[in-house]
Amino acid sequence: DAGVTQSPTHLIKTRGQQVTLRCSPKSGHDTVSWYQQALGQGPQFIFQYYEEEERQRGNFPDRFSGHQFPNYSSELNVNALLLGDSALYLCASSLVQGRYEQYFGPGTRLTVT
Partner 1 sequence: AQSVAQPEDQVNVAEGNPLTVKCTYSVSGNPYLFWYVQYPNRGLQFLLKYITGDNLVKGSYGFEAEFNKSQTSFHLKKPSALVSDSALYFCAVRDMDSNYQLIWGAGTKLIIKP
**Contact between 35 and 88 (Cβ < 8 Å):** no
106 binds partner 1 (CB under 8 A): yes
Choice between 30 and 79, CB closer to partner 1: 30
CA 21 to CA 62: how far, in whole Å? 16
Q: Give yes or no for residue 1 binding partner 1 (CB under 8 A).
A: no
**Interacting span for partner 1 (CB under 8 A) from 14-22, 63-71, 76-84, 95-103:** 95-103
Q: Is 60 in the site for partner 1 (CB under 8 A)?
A: no
* DSSP symbols for 18-86: -EEEEEEPPTT--EEEEEEE-TTS--EEEEEEETTEEEEE-S--TTEEEEE-TTS-EEEEE-S--GGG-
Minimum distance of partner 1 from residue 68's CB (angstroms):
15
Phi/psi of residue 47, nearest 5 degrees:
-165, 170
* Interface residue with partner 1, options 18, 27, 56, 77 (CB under 8 A): 56
Residue 25 contacts partner 1 per CB under 8 A: no
By CB under 8 A, name the binding residues for partner 1: 4, 6, 33, 40-45, 48, 55-56, 58, 90, 92, 97-107, 109
